[in-house]
Amino acid sequence: MSTIIPTRQPVFFVSHGGGPWPWMPDHLETIYANLAQSLATLLPSLPQKPKAILMVSAHWEEREFTVQATPEPGMIYDYGGFPEHTYHIHYRSAGCPELAQRVSELLTQADIPVQQTTTRGYDHGMFSPMQVINPAADIPVVQLSLKKGLDPAAHIQMGQALAPLRDENVLIIGSGLSYHNLRMFNAYAAEPSKAFDQWLYSTVVEHQGTARNQLLTQWEQAPAARIAHPREEHLLPLMVSVGAAQQETGVRTYHETGFVGGLWVSNFAFGELKQA
Protein backbone atom coordinates (compact mmCIF):
# COMPACT_ATOMS: atom_id res chain seq x y z
CA MET A 1 0.00 0.00 0.00
CA SER A 2 1.51 3.32 -1.06
CA THR A 3 1.95 6.18 1.40
CA ILE A 4 0.64 9.61 0.42
CA ILE A 5 3.24 12.25 1.20
CA PRO A 6 1.62 15.53 2.28
CA THR A 7 2.30 18.52 0.06
CA ARG A 8 3.80 21.48 1.87
CA GLN A 9 2.50 24.89 0.91
CA PRO A 10 5.03 27.65 0.28
CA VAL A 11 4.98 30.98 2.14
CA PHE A 12 4.73 34.46 0.60
CA PHE A 13 5.43 38.08 1.38
CA VAL A 14 3.48 40.40 -0.93
CA SER A 15 3.06 44.12 -1.38
CA HIS A 16 -0.60 45.01 -1.03
CA GLY A 17 -0.53 48.43 -2.70
CA GLY A 18 -2.43 51.55 -1.78
CA GLY A 19 -6.05 51.43 -0.67
CA PRO A 20 -8.62 49.74 -2.94
CA TRP A 21 -6.55 49.86 -6.15
CA PRO A 22 -7.93 46.64 -7.75
CA TRP A 23 -11.34 48.32 -7.96
CA MET A 24 -9.88 51.36 -9.76
CA PRO A 25 -9.10 50.58 -13.44
CA ASP A 26 -6.98 53.72 -13.82
CA HIS A 27 -4.68 52.29 -11.10
CA LEU A 28 -5.01 48.57 -11.87
CA GLU A 29 -4.00 48.99 -15.51
CA THR A 30 -1.21 51.54 -15.00
CA ILE A 31 0.89 51.97 -11.87
CA TYR A 32 -0.20 48.61 -10.42
CA ALA A 33 -0.10 46.60 -13.64
CA ASN A 34 3.14 44.74 -12.83
CA LEU A 35 2.13 44.03 -9.25
CA ALA A 36 -1.25 42.77 -10.43
CA GLN A 37 0.41 40.46 -12.95
CA SER A 38 2.61 39.01 -10.24
CA LEU A 39 -0.18 38.51 -7.71
CA ALA A 40 -2.33 36.80 -10.34
CA THR A 41 0.33 34.07 -10.68
CA LEU A 42 0.39 33.23 -6.96
CA LEU A 43 -2.34 30.56 -6.83
CA PRO A 44 -1.21 28.87 -10.07
CA SER A 45 2.28 28.56 -8.56
CA LEU A 46 1.05 26.46 -5.62
CA PRO A 47 1.41 22.67 -5.51
CA GLN A 48 -2.33 22.40 -4.81
CA LYS A 49 -5.26 24.63 -3.94
CA PRO A 50 -5.06 25.51 -0.23
CA LYS A 51 -7.96 24.72 2.07
CA ALA A 52 -7.52 28.11 3.74
CA ILE A 53 -5.26 31.17 3.78
CA LEU A 54 -3.75 32.81 6.85
CA MET A 55 -3.02 36.47 6.12
CA VAL A 56 -0.84 38.71 8.28
CA SER A 57 -1.59 42.32 7.31
CA ALA A 58 0.41 45.44 8.13
CA HIS A 59 -2.86 47.18 8.94
CA TRP A 60 -3.77 45.33 12.13
CA GLU A 61 -1.89 45.65 15.43
CA GLU A 62 -2.97 44.45 18.87
CA ARG A 63 -1.41 44.27 22.35
CA GLU A 64 -1.18 40.50 21.85
CA PHE A 65 -1.27 38.52 18.63
CA THR A 66 -4.95 38.25 17.74
CA VAL A 67 -6.63 35.94 15.25
CA GLN A 68 -9.90 36.54 13.42
CA ALA A 69 -12.39 33.83 14.40
CA THR A 70 -15.61 34.96 12.73
CA PRO A 71 -17.14 32.78 9.99
CA GLU A 72 -18.16 35.79 7.87
CA PRO A 73 -15.86 38.79 8.38
CA GLY A 74 -17.09 42.22 7.33
CA MET A 75 -15.12 44.94 5.56
CA ILE A 76 -12.98 47.71 7.04
CA TYR A 77 -12.50 50.61 4.64
CA ASP A 78 -9.28 51.78 6.25
CA TYR A 79 -8.32 54.41 3.69
CA GLY A 80 -9.36 57.90 2.68
CA GLY A 81 -9.65 60.08 -0.39
CA PHE A 82 -10.72 57.37 -2.82
CA PRO A 83 -13.82 57.26 -5.09
CA GLU A 84 -17.17 56.74 -3.39
CA HIS A 85 -17.72 53.29 -4.90
CA THR A 86 -14.62 51.96 -3.13
CA TYR A 87 -16.39 52.34 0.23
CA HIS A 88 -19.02 49.82 -0.85
CA ILE A 89 -16.84 47.06 -2.26
CA HIS A 90 -16.86 43.55 -0.83
CA TYR A 91 -14.40 40.67 -0.91
CA ARG A 92 -16.71 37.83 -0.03
CA SER A 93 -14.47 35.01 1.12
CA ALA A 94 -15.56 33.09 4.20
CA GLY A 95 -13.66 33.11 7.44
CA CYS A 96 -12.56 29.88 9.10
CA PRO A 97 -13.04 29.53 12.87
CA GLU A 98 -11.37 26.12 12.73
CA LEU A 99 -8.18 27.67 11.38
CA ALA A 100 -8.37 30.42 13.99
CA GLN A 101 -8.54 27.75 16.69
CA ARG A 102 -5.58 25.88 15.17
CA VAL A 103 -3.54 29.10 15.08
CA SER A 104 -4.39 29.67 18.75
CA GLU A 105 -3.31 26.13 19.61
CA LEU A 106 0.04 26.44 17.83
CA LEU A 107 0.88 29.78 19.41
CA THR A 108 -0.17 28.61 22.86
CA GLN A 109 2.02 25.51 22.49
CA ALA A 110 4.93 27.84 21.71
CA ASP A 111 4.18 29.93 24.83
CA ILE A 112 3.11 32.88 22.70
CA PRO A 113 0.05 34.69 24.11
CA VAL A 114 -2.80 34.88 21.61
CA GLN A 115 -6.32 36.28 21.56
CA GLN A 116 -9.32 35.68 19.28
CA THR A 117 -11.84 38.19 17.96
CA THR A 118 -15.22 37.65 16.33
CA THR A 119 -15.84 41.32 15.54
CA ARG A 120 -13.00 42.52 13.33
CA GLY A 121 -13.43 42.57 9.55
CA TYR A 122 -11.01 42.39 6.65
CA ASP A 123 -8.72 45.40 6.09
CA HIS A 124 -7.31 46.49 2.75
CA GLY A 125 -4.01 44.78 3.48
CA MET A 126 -6.03 41.59 3.02
CA PHE A 127 -8.77 42.33 0.52
CA SER A 128 -6.80 44.40 -2.00
CA PRO A 129 -4.18 41.73 -2.80
CA MET A 130 -6.70 38.90 -2.41
CA GLN A 131 -8.99 40.48 -5.01
CA VAL A 132 -6.18 39.91 -7.53
CA ILE A 133 -4.78 36.69 -6.08
CA ASN A 134 -8.18 34.97 -5.93
CA PRO A 135 -11.04 37.03 -7.38
CA ALA A 136 -13.36 34.02 -7.01
CA ALA A 137 -13.04 34.42 -3.21
CA ASP A 138 -13.67 30.70 -2.84
CA ILE A 139 -10.89 30.02 -0.32
CA PRO A 140 -11.52 30.91 3.34
CA VAL A 141 -9.21 33.65 4.65
CA VAL A 142 -8.31 34.35 8.28
CA GLN A 143 -6.37 37.43 9.35
CA LEU A 144 -3.78 37.43 12.13
CA SER A 145 -2.58 40.65 13.72
CA LEU A 146 0.85 42.06 14.33
CA LYS A 147 1.84 42.68 17.95
CA LYS A 148 2.28 46.24 19.17
CA GLY A 149 5.90 47.09 19.84
CA LEU A 150 6.72 45.59 16.43
CA ASP A 151 9.59 43.47 17.71
CA PRO A 152 11.11 41.61 14.73
CA ALA A 153 12.22 38.62 16.80
CA ALA A 154 8.72 38.14 18.24
CA HIS A 155 7.23 38.04 14.74
CA ILE A 156 9.87 35.63 13.47
CA GLN A 157 9.13 33.41 16.49
CA MET A 158 5.44 33.54 15.70
CA GLY A 159 6.13 32.49 12.12
CA GLN A 160 8.18 29.55 13.38
CA ALA A 161 5.28 28.44 15.57
CA LEU A 162 2.89 28.61 12.62
CA ALA A 163 5.06 26.57 10.24
CA PRO A 164 3.11 23.29 10.81
CA LEU A 165 0.13 24.88 9.06
CA ARG A 166 2.01 24.55 5.79
CA ASP A 167 1.80 20.76 6.07
CA GLU A 168 -1.94 21.06 6.74
CA ASN A 169 -2.60 22.71 3.35
CA VAL A 170 -2.82 26.23 4.76
CA LEU A 171 -1.18 29.02 2.79
CA ILE A 172 0.56 31.72 4.85
CA ILE A 173 0.83 35.20 3.29
CA GLY A 174 2.50 38.22 4.84
CA SER A 175 1.01 41.39 3.37
CA GLY A 176 2.96 44.64 3.64
CA LEU A 177 5.26 46.66 1.40
CA SER A 178 9.03 46.41 1.11
CA TYR A 179 9.25 50.23 1.04
CA HIS A 180 6.74 52.31 2.99
CA ASN A 181 7.47 55.97 3.55
CA LEU A 182 4.41 57.95 2.50
CA ARG A 183 6.31 61.24 2.82
CA MET A 184 8.82 60.00 0.25
CA PHE A 185 6.59 58.05 -2.11
CA ASN A 186 8.01 59.56 -5.27
CA ALA A 187 11.11 59.82 -7.45
CA TYR A 188 13.09 61.39 -4.57
CA ALA A 189 13.00 57.97 -2.92
CA ALA A 190 14.62 56.16 -5.84
CA GLU A 191 18.10 55.95 -4.32
CA PRO A 192 17.17 55.10 -0.71
CA SER A 193 14.56 52.57 -1.83
CA LYS A 194 17.16 51.00 -4.13
CA ALA A 195 19.69 50.74 -1.32
CA PHE A 196 17.22 49.12 1.06
CA ASP A 197 15.78 46.84 -1.62
CA GLN A 198 19.23 45.53 -2.51
CA TRP A 199 19.97 44.82 1.15
CA LEU A 200 16.60 43.11 1.56
CA TYR A 201 17.15 40.92 -1.50
CA SER A 202 20.59 39.85 -0.29
CA THR A 203 19.28 39.13 3.20
CA VAL A 204 16.19 37.17 2.16
CA VAL A 205 17.54 35.28 -0.87
CA GLU A 206 21.21 34.73 -0.07
CA HIS A 207 20.83 33.71 3.58
CA GLN A 208 18.75 31.14 5.41
CA GLY A 209 17.91 30.05 8.93
CA THR A 210 19.56 31.68 11.93
CA ALA A 211 21.77 33.93 9.81
CA ARG A 212 18.79 35.36 7.93
CA ASN A 213 16.79 35.78 11.13
CA GLN A 214 19.68 37.65 12.75
CA LEU A 215 20.01 40.05 9.83
CA LEU A 216 16.29 40.76 9.86
CA THR A 217 16.18 41.40 13.59
CA GLN A 218 18.90 44.02 12.96
CA TRP A 219 17.18 45.50 9.92
CA GLU A 220 17.55 49.06 11.25
CA GLN A 221 21.27 48.79 10.43
CA ALA A 222 20.50 48.28 6.73
CA PRO A 223 21.22 51.07 4.24
CA ALA A 224 18.45 53.71 4.29
CA ALA A 225 16.45 51.55 6.71
CA ARG A 226 14.57 54.33 8.47
CA ILE A 227 13.97 56.16 5.21
CA ALA A 228 12.41 53.01 3.75
CA HIS A 229 10.44 52.32 6.93
CA PRO A 230 9.99 55.26 9.32
CA ARG A 231 7.65 52.86 11.09
CA GLU A 232 8.16 49.16 10.42
CA GLU A 233 4.61 47.76 10.37
CA HIS A 234 4.79 47.13 6.61
CA LEU A 235 8.03 45.16 7.00
CA LEU A 236 6.93 42.97 9.93
CA PRO A 237 4.72 40.62 7.84
CA LEU A 238 7.93 39.58 6.08
CA MET A 239 9.35 38.53 9.46
CA VAL A 240 6.39 36.21 10.00
CA SER A 241 6.83 34.67 6.54
CA VAL A 242 10.56 34.18 7.05
CA GLY A 243 9.93 32.56 10.41
CA ALA A 244 7.56 30.06 8.83
CA ALA A 245 10.15 29.27 6.15
CA GLN A 246 13.08 28.34 8.45
CA GLN A 247 15.90 26.95 6.27
CA GLU A 248 14.17 27.40 2.92
CA THR A 249 15.68 29.61 0.25
CA GLY A 250 13.79 32.75 -0.65
CA VAL A 251 13.04 33.73 -4.23
CA ARG A 252 11.94 37.12 -5.48
CA THR A 253 8.58 36.82 -7.23
CA TYR A 254 8.09 40.49 -8.09
CA HIS A 255 10.55 43.33 -8.52
CA GLU A 256 9.91 46.82 -9.79
CA THR A 257 12.36 49.71 -10.00
CA GLY A 258 9.92 52.41 -11.08
CA PHE A 259 6.94 51.79 -8.81
CA VAL A 260 4.89 54.98 -8.27
CA GLY A 261 7.47 57.02 -10.12
CA GLY A 262 10.74 55.57 -8.91
CA LEU A 263 10.49 53.17 -5.96
CA TRP A 264 12.31 49.84 -5.78
CA VAL A 265 9.93 47.22 -4.34
CA SER A 266 10.00 43.42 -4.06
CA ASN A 267 7.88 40.41 -3.14
CA PHE A 268 9.27 37.07 -1.97
CA ALA A 269 8.30 33.40 -1.73
CA PHE A 270 9.75 30.49 0.23
CA GLY A 271 9.35 26.79 -0.50
CA GLU A 272 8.55 24.75 -3.58
CA LEU A 273 6.69 26.57 -6.34
CA LYS A 274 5.11 24.95 -9.35
CA GLN A 275 6.93 25.76 -12.55
CA ALA A 276 4.91 27.75 -15.09
CATH number for the domain harbouring residue 235: 3.40.830.10
What is the spatial distance between Cα 102 and Cα 142, in angstroms, rounded to a whole number? 11
In a domain, 38, yes or no: yes
In a domain, 216, yes or no: yes
Q: What is the pLDDT of residue 2?
A: 39
What is the spatial distance between Cα 142 and Cα 124, in angstroms, rounded to a whole number? 13
In a domain, 29, yes or no: yes
In a domain, 1, yes or no: no
Note down the domain range covering 25: 11-270
Q: What is the pLDDT of residue 276?
A: 57
In a domain, 21, yes or no: yes
In a domain, 276, yes or no: no
3-state DSSP of 99-111: HHHHHHHHHHHCC
Residues 142 and 103 sit within 8 Å (Cβ to Cβ): yes
In a domain, 5, yes or no: no
SS3 of 253, please? strand
DSSP readout, 163-191?
Answer: GGGGGGTEEEEEEE-S---GGG-SGGGHH
Each residue's pLDDT, cut to its tens digit, for the chain (276 residues) gives 334 446 899 999 999 998 999 999 888 778 899 999 999 999 999 999 999 999 999 999 999 999 999 999 999 999 999 999 999 999 999 999 999 999 999 999 999 999 999 999 999 999 999 999 999 999 999 999 999 999 999 999 999 999 999 999 999 999 999 999 988 777 788 999 999 999 999 999 999 999 999 999 999 999 999 999 999 999 999 999 999 998 899 999 999 998 887 899 999 999 999 875
In a domain, 266, yes or no: yes
Residues 16 and 128 sit within 8 Å (Cβ to Cβ): yes
201 burial level (CB within 10 Å; 0-12, 13-18, 19+): middle
Q: How many domains does the chain have?
A: 1
3-state helix, strand, coil split of the chain in percent (to 5) is: 40, 20, 40
